[in-house]
Amino acid sequence: AIRELEVLCSVDYLFTQCTDGLHQKAGSGSVVELLGTMLWITCPNCGQDHKLEQIMA
């Protein structure tokens, strides 16, 4: 439903508090996750970001 509103109203950015990546999976374009994301993890040693699915594999 939100994706449909984006198309209808020509939304440039979607600001969300969701951290699960569902807006991206639904096809939303420019998503700004205000509370962060559960899809990426930052290494505490080097500070590099990694996809969580790669770490959990």
Residue 39 confidence (pLDDT):
86
Residue 44 confidence (pLDDT):
92
Whether the CB-CB separation of 49 and 42 falls below 8 Å is answered with: yes
Residues 48 and 29: their CA atoms lie apart, in Å, by: 24
pLDDT in tens, 15-52: 999 888 888 888 888 899 898 888 889 999 999 999 98
Show the tokens assigned to 7.
């198309």
